[in-house]
């Protein structure tokens, strides 16, 4: 399987737990905690595969940027969280800093 697929899986697996915890807080259904734990296990397995062939900083940076974008979109679309100019600047700055760290 191509590395991009593993990166997508890792991105979803790293973004899922925070979203599942948010759902658990709203519903108090323990199944969300179980799925979050499974997501972390999936993330661990994808890291094991990806880090055999790639640099840690490169892979981690890609996954963190994608995770940041995915969680932000879901928070806005699903949880109706408000986004303002300061949050957009913060997200942009965070993405630029992660890119800068991975290139240096």
Kindly state the tokens that stand for 82: 């408000």
pLDDT at 98: 76
Percentage with pLDDT > 70 across the chain: 97
> Residue 31 pLDDT > 90, yes or no?
yes
Q: What does pTM read for this prediction?
A: 0.78
Please answer whether residues 54 and 3 qualify as being in contact, where contact means their C-beta atoms are separated by less than 8 angstroms. yes
DSSP string, 12-45: HHHHHHHHHHHHHHHH--THHHHHHHHHHHHHHH
Distance separating the N- and C-terminal Cα atoms of the chain: 29
pLDDT tens profile 37-52: 999 999 999 999 999 9
Widest CA span in the chain:
44
């Amino acid at each position: 399987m191509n590395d991009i697929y593993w990166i997508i899986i890792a991105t979803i697996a790293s973004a899922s737990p925070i979203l599942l915890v948010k759902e658990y807080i709203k519903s108090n259904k323990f199944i969300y905690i179980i799925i979050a734990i499974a997501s972390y296990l999936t993330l661990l397995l994808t890291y094991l595969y990806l880090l055999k062939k790639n640099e840690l900083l490169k892979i981690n940076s890609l996954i963190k940027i994608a995770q940041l974008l995915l969680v932000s979109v879901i928070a806005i679309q699903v949880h109706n969280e408000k986004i303002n100019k300061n949050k957009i600047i913060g997200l942009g700055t965070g993405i630029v800093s992660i890119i800068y760290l991975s290139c240096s």
